[in-house]
């Protein structure tokens, strides 16, 4: 996997990653639109709300020819527990070495409770059936975000019809 940062309108090179359900292989999603959302941490309020929102709209994304994948730095075990606890029907990728986080440029310096550290900036990416990054949302606020992504996925699906 190349370490080059992924840019808007770029075709994304194939990559593999450790994930729930089964090992993730990007090329397995060719022919479908793909939403990849990066979130800071399993079982935290915002990340849980976001994941549940994706879960609750999953069938609508499916109707729009779109799969969903979540990514954080949490361990595979943490992801498996999180997915089971909230009945998440989609894959979660474990990226503890931040390889995908760095490729998608979502690692940011954050201040939390007066402490400075690096963490994932909540971000979502929409990739078309050909593997091209067509839309990105960075610094996401959870409220209303899923509806915006779903609408973009529907428009993308219609453009292929």
| pTM beyond 0.75 | yes
Q: State residue 161's pLDDT score.
A: 59
pLDDT given for residue 1 in this prediction? 45
Under DSSP, the state recorded for 95 is: -
Hey, what domains does the chain have and what are their CATH numbers? 16-160 (3.40.30.10)
Residues 6+ away with beta carbon under 8 Å from 133: 6, 7, 8, 9, 10, 12, 125, 126, 127
Which residues belong to the active site?
A: 47
**Residue ranges of the chain with pLDDT lower than 70?**
1-3, 160-161
Residues 6+ away with beta carbon under 8 Å from 113: none
Quote the CA–CA distance of 107 and 12 in Å, as a whole number. 19
Convert the pLDDT of each residue in 50-79 to its tens digit: 999 999 999 999 999 999 999 999 999 999
- Check residue 110 and give its pLDDT: 80
């Amino acid at each position: 996997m190349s370490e080059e940062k992924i840019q808007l309108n770029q075709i994304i090179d194939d990559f593999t990653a450790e994930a729930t359900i089964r090992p993730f292989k990007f090329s397995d999603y060719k022919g479908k639109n793909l939403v990849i959302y990066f979130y800071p941490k399993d079982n935290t309020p915002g990340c849980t709300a976001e994941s549940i929102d994706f879960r609750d709209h999953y069938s609508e994304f499916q109707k729009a020819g779109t799969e969903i994948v979540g990514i954080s730095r949490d361990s595979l075990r943490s992801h498996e527990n999180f997915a089971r606890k909230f009945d998440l029907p989609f894959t979660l990728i474990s990226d503890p070495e931040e390889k995908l986080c760095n490729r998608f440029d979502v690692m940011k310096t954050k201040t939390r409770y007066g402490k400075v550290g690096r963490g994932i900036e909540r971000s979502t990416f929409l990739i078309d059936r050909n593997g091209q990054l067509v839309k990105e949302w960075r610094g996401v606020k959870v409220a209303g975000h899923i509806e915006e992504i779903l609408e973009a996925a529907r428009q993308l699906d219609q453009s292929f019809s």
